[in-house]
C-alpha cells in the first residue's frame, strides 16, 4: 500500500468508515467499533491487519497509547478526494437561503447575510471576502469636516457600495467649502470611474485647482482587502482544553487577517472549490483546521471568495455542499442588486 492507487476496496471502505466515525464521535476508532458498524463481513483480525497497513501508509495513526486510530491529513485528503459520493452530500434549504439573500438591498448587507447563513447551516466559522471590483464607478461623494485637519469622505460607488475614508488636508476646511467640492464632483463626474476622474482633474485643472490634494486622496483606488467573519464561537466546542494555545493562535489569525486573506486570494484563482486540510495551508495556526472555499461571481466574473473554517474532523459532506450552494446563491443575488 505505497500510494493511493494501491488501496484495496476493503481498505477504502474501512478508511471511509473510520473517518466518518471519528468526525461524528471525536474519539479514536478501534477495530471492534469498525467491525460492529461495517455493513460488510470482515473478521476482526482482517480489520486489524488492514488498519495496520493504513497506518504504515500514513492514512491513520494512533494518538498516545490508544488502541484506536484517527485519520491523518493524508487520510482526510483521500477521504475528501476519493471516498465522498454524491449521495453523501446533504440537501440544504436553498430556497429559504435565496429568499433571505434576495431581501438584501445593498452589497454590504448581502455579504453579511451570506456569512451568517453559511455559519448557521454548517455550525462552523464562515468567511466572506468583500467583493473586489477592478473598477469603481462614482455615484455620489460627500465631505465632512473632522478635527485636526481631518476630513471624512463618504463615497457611494457602483452597486451602491459605500466606502468611508478619512483623509488629511493641509488646512482646515469649512463645511460649506467641502459641500461645494462634493457637489462639484458629483454633478460633473457621477457615472465615471475613479481613476478616470483623477486623470481628468490632474490633466485639466491641477495647476489652478487648490483642492486637488484632498480630491486625489478621496478618489484613490483602494482594494477591499477585508472579509466578514461569522460563527467564531462555533469553534469553541470543537477544540479541547489541550489545544487552547492553538485556538488562541487561530483567533489571532482571524484578527490580523493577513493569513486568511492570503488563502482567500489563492482561492480567487480557482474555478471551483478549494480545500485546505491541516498543514496544507502552510500556516501553523491552521494546522488543526480545514478550510473549504469557493469563489463567487458578478456578471460571470469572480469578484470574491467565501468559505468555512473548522476542525479537521469537520463534516466535509455538509460543509462542501453549503459552501458550493452559498457561493452560487450569493452570485445570483448580486445580479439583483442595482
- The 10s digit of each residue's pLDDT in 89-107 is 788 889 999 999 999 988 8
- Determine which of 216-230, 256-270, 285-299 has the lowest per-residue pLDDT on average: 216-230
pLDDT for 241 equals: 47
Cell matching residue 83 = 471516498
- The 10s digit of each residue's pLDDT in 242-257 is 567 778 888 888 888 8
Distances (CA, A) of 334 to 107, 123, 165, 237: 7, 24, 24, 34
- State residue 17 phi and psi, 5-degree precision: -65, -40
Average pLDDT over residues 305-328: 95
CATH architecture of 4-81: Orthogonal Bundle (1.10)
Tell me the C-alpha distance between 81 and 29, whole Å: 21
Distances (CA, A) of 92 to 42, 58, 121: 35, 34, 8
Give yes or no for a contact between 73 and 127, defined as CB atoms under 8 angstroms apart. no
What is the topology classification, in CATH, of domain 138-218? Answer: Enolase-like; domain 1 (3.30.390)
Tell me the C-alpha distance between 142 and 181, whole Å: 8
Tell me the C-alpha distance between 205 and 89, whole Å: 61
Cα 321 to the center of its chain, rounded Å:
14
Q: pTM of the full predicted structure?
A: 0.74
The count of C-alpha atoms lying within 13 angstroms of the C-alpha of 175, restricted to the half-sphere facing its C-beta, is 0
Better pLDDT: 29 or 215: 29
CATH C-level class of 88-132+224-334: alpha beta
Tell me the C-alpha distance between 157 and 135, whole Å: 10
Query: Domain residues of the chain, as ranges?
Result: 4-81, 88-132+224-334, 138-218
Q: How confident is the model at residue 310 (pLDDT cuts 50, 70, 90)?
A: very high
Taking alpha carbons only, the member of 179, 178, 184, 186 closest to residue 149 is: 178
Exposure string (b/e) for 165-201, b if CB count within 10 Å is 16 or more?
eebebeeebeeeebeebbeebeeebeeebbeebbeeb
Amino acid at each position: 500500500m505505497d500510494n493511493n492507487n494501491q488501496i484495496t476496496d476493503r481498505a477504502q471502505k474501512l478508511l471511509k468508515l473510520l473517518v466518518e466515525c471519528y468526525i461524528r464521535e471525536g474519539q479514536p476508532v478501534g477495530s471492534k467499533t469498525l467491525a460492529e458498524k461495517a455493513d460488510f463481513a470482515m473478521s476482526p483480525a482482517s480489520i486489524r491487519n488492514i488498519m495496520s497497513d493504513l497506518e504504515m501508509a500514513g492514512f491513520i495513526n494512533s494518538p498516545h497509547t490508544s488502541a484506536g486510530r484517527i485519520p491523518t491529513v493524508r487520510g482526510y485528503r483521500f477521504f475528501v478526494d476519493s471516498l465522498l459520493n454524491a449521495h453523501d452530500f446533504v440537501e440544504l434549504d436553498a430556497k429559504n437561503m435565496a429568499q433571505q439573500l434576495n431581501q438584501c438591498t445593498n452589497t454590504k448587507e448581502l455579504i453579511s447575510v451570506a456569512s451568517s447563513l453559511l455559519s448557521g447551516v454548517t455550525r462552523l466559522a464562515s468567511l466572506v471576502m468583500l467583493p473586489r471590483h477592478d473598477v469603481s464607478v462614482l455615484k455620489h461623494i460627500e465631505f465632512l469636516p473632522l478635527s485636526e485637519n481631518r476630513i471624512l469622505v463618504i463615497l457611494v460607488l457602483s452597486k451602491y457600495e459605500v466606502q468611508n475614508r478619512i483623509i488629511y488636508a493641509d488646512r482646515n476646511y469649512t463645511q460649506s467649502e467641502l459641500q461645494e467640492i462634493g457637489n462639484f464632483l458629483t454633478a460633473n463626474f457621477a457615472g465615471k470611474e475613479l481613476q478616470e476622474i483623477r486623470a481628468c482633474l490632474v490633466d485639466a485643472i491641477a495647476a489652478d485647482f487648490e483642492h486637488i490634494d484632498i480630491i486625489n486622496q478621496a478618489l484613490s483606488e483602494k482594494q477591499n482587502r477585508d472579509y466578514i467573519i461569522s460563527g467564531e464561537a462555533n469553534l469553541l466546542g470543537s477544540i479541547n482544553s489541550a489545544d487552547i494555545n492553538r485556538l488562541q493562535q487561530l483567533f489571532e489569525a482571524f484578527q490580523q487577517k493577513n493569513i486568511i486573506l492570503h488563502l482567500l486570494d489563492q482561492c480567487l484563482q480557482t474555478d471551483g472549490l478549494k480545500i485546505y486540510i491541516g498543514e496544507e495551508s502552510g500556516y501553523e495556526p491552521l494546522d488543526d483546521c480545514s478550510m473549504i472555499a469557493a469563489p463567487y461571481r458578478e456578471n460571470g466574473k469572480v469578484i470574491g471568495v467565501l468559505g468555512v473554517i473548522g476542525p479537521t474532523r469537520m463534516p466535509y459532506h455538509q460543509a462542501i455542499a453549503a459552501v458550493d450552494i452559498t457561493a452560487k446563491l450569493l452570485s445570483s443575488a448580486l445580479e439583483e442588486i442595482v
